[in-house]
A and B are shown apart, each in its own frame.
Chain A
Amino acid sequence: AQKITQTQPGMFVQEKEAVTLDCTYDTSDPSYGLFWYKQPSSGEMIFLIYQGSYDQQNATEGRYSLNFQKARKSANLVISASQLGDSAMYFCAMREEGRDDKIIFGKGTRLHILP
């Protein structure tokens, strides 16, 4: 069974609009971490943001914020004021810290920002 589910294979968003990328996860481990990575067409993997399962507040990093809804096992990435350079693949990932700490990724969402 998929542990990380990203239901949007592709999205088109107008420049300057906000965009939400969906991520749901499945774990019985009470201690886990959630990550978002960006992969532009150049192929590099860029770390964006992290949320720990015990963090009381939603994580924010500049234009990126994570809408963490623990009961729903949801960790959506919100990008405010999108820019053309935000066009890329976005991956949600999870580390189950009570297990062996391996990090697994979702299948990704390809985001296209339109001028």
Chain B
Amino acid sequence: GENVEQHPSTLSVQEGDSAVIKCTYSDSASNYFPWYKQELGKGPQLIIDIRSNVGEKKDQRIAVTLNKTAKHFSLHITETQPEDSAVYFCAASLNDKVIFGPGTSLSVIP
């Protein structure tokens, strides 16, 4: 089955700096890679996704990159703000199931 690894597990950045979270997946058949943000006491919420036929996608301050050959994908947040503080999960999709990474706790220090 699919296995998703995620690094780092915790990340602290100063407000205005960039944050990068990296993930790897094991099954080359996976073709959809969503990123979810989970705030305290809430369920995860999709913030951006990328499909296997695309190498990069951007939405305002958030961007994702995908390297299918290396089975790596990354989340980039620029100009971080305190409200970006949350737990971020990467995921890989295979056969109607989404397998989540262990999560990265991001703290943005004002």
On whether the two chains bind one another, the answer is no
Q: Which residues of B contact A (CB under 8 A)?
A: none
Q: Which residues of A contact B (CB under 8 A)?
A: none
